[in-house]
Amino acid sequence: MAYEDQTKDVIHQRMLDASPADIDKRPGSITYDLLGPAAIELESVYMELGAVLDKGFADTSYGEYLDRRVAELGITRKPAVKAVGSVIFTGTDGTVIPIGTEIYTNDENPVYFVTTSDGTITNGSVTIAAQAKEGGVRGNVAAGKITLTSGNITGITSVTNPQAFDGGVDAESDADLLARYLDRVRTPATSGNAAAYRQWALERPGVGDAKVYPLWNGNGTVKVVLIDSERTTPTQAVIDDVAAYIESVRPIGATVTVVGATELPINVSATLTLESGYAVESIQPTIEAGIVEYLKSIAFKNEPVRLSRIANIILDTEGVTDYANLTINGGTGNITVPDGQVAVKGTVTFT
């Protein structure tokens, strides 16, 4: 902060020093006491001035202030996307399931969905399209998680989703929005250069990063490889959306191929030594979450998956005192991620 040295005491003393020399300025005097509250208020003002500076510069801004900063270049935060899928209602033939029927998961914090078309139960069941009520990755629920209905529709005996819902994407984070802004500023896109194709891809919802390969299949060809905001291969809907958008803005004559990155599973195995009172089952989710975050941090950065980083994640987990026989993908060396691929968590086996 630019004004961290402007404390109440410093301001108070500066005001006392600026007061006439022939008046009493000792502690307890009228002048001293009257200037004290003003010094407190001015300290708050300096704190706010520091906050204003942070909001004004892109690398320290956040939220709505970052939105306003990047808007100067015509960049807008990518919105959340709702997960989509289908559900099967079973019950009495002839029961009408209207569009907008609310269904949800049987969890402590349920995820709510609504049907996007209507249907009528025939031969005991009907399959209807649905989407999450709110955008975000929470809507990407596993198969069989949706089991409850809201409202008072008689004739329904059960509801379930035979397949997982997918396509849900969180709103673009401050970190990703800032990275896209800096990328635009530092790597200006011109008519159809590689930076332009990457910029076009990053503008679409659900895209976390992109690699561009000019002339990948001869003159006039461009290949764009995508990962999503979770740093895994995106859904086909996202790939198709990016392909359609690039097709609408690309230079005439270019042949563009858009694909998702190939996922490279990273399988981890080790023997753990735990503190008393801890069990492998209780700490494994924490380690797995750490591995996921590590792999996300190196996605599309031409870095190998390092055994030492996996080891640090394990040792930094509460309850773990040591490990042995650590391997990743069956070996004890680093894993090179081939170009166009992205490392993702595979199986994690601890004993």
Q: Which CATH class is domain 191-260?
A: alpha beta
Alpha carbon distance 109, 247 (integer Å):
41
pLDDT at 286: 95
What is residue 108's predicted lDDT score, i.e. its pLDDT? Answer: 92
12: three-class secondary structure by DSSP? helix
Per-residue pLDDT, 231: 93
Which one-letter DSSP state was computed for residue 189? -
Please give the helix or strand (H or E) that residue 323 lies within, else none. Answer: strand 320-328
Collapsing DSSP states into helix, strand and coil, what is residue 203? coil
Burial profile 241-252: b = 16 or more Cβ within 10 angstroms, e = fewer: bbbebbeeebee
**CA gap 291, 297 in Å, rounded:** 10
Structural domain boundaries in the chain: 8-56, 84-160, 191-260, 263-350
What are the residues facing 265 on neighbouring strands? 344
Helix (H, G, I), strand (E, B) or coil at 138: helix
pLDDT score for 48: 85
> By C-alpha distance, which of 207, 188, 221, 81 is closest to 140?
81
| pLDDT tens over the chain, length 351 residues | 578 889 999 999 999 999 999 999 999 999 999 999 999 999 999 888 888 888 989 999 999 999 999 999 999 999 999 999 999 999 999 999 999 999 999 999 999 999 999 999 999 999 999 999 999 999 999 999 999 999 878 899 999 999 999 999 999 999 999 999 998 898 877 778 899 999 999 999 999 999 999 999 999 899 999 999 899 999 999 999 999 999 999 988 889 999 999 999 999 999 999 999 999 999 999 999 999 999 999 999 999 999 999 999 999 999 999 999 999 999 999 999 999 999 999 999 999
What is the per-residue pLDDT for 177? 95
Total residues found in the chain within this entry: 351
Instruction: Write the CA distances from 39 to 15, 21, 22, integer angstroms.
Output: 8, 19, 21
What's the rounded Cα separation, in Å, for the pair 245 and 81? 17
The strand pair at 102-105 and 112-115 is best described as antiparallel
Q: Is the Cα torsion angle 244, 246, 250, 256 positive or negative in sign?
A: negative
Instruction: Please indicate, yes or no, whether the overall pTM of this predicted structure exceeds 0.85.
Output: no
What pLDDT score was predicted for residue 1? 52
For residue 54, the model assigns a pLDDT of 87
Q: How far apart are CA 32 and CA 24, in angstroms?
A: 8
123, 93 Cβ separation under 8 angstroms: yes
Tally Cβ neighbours within 10 Å of residue 325: 10
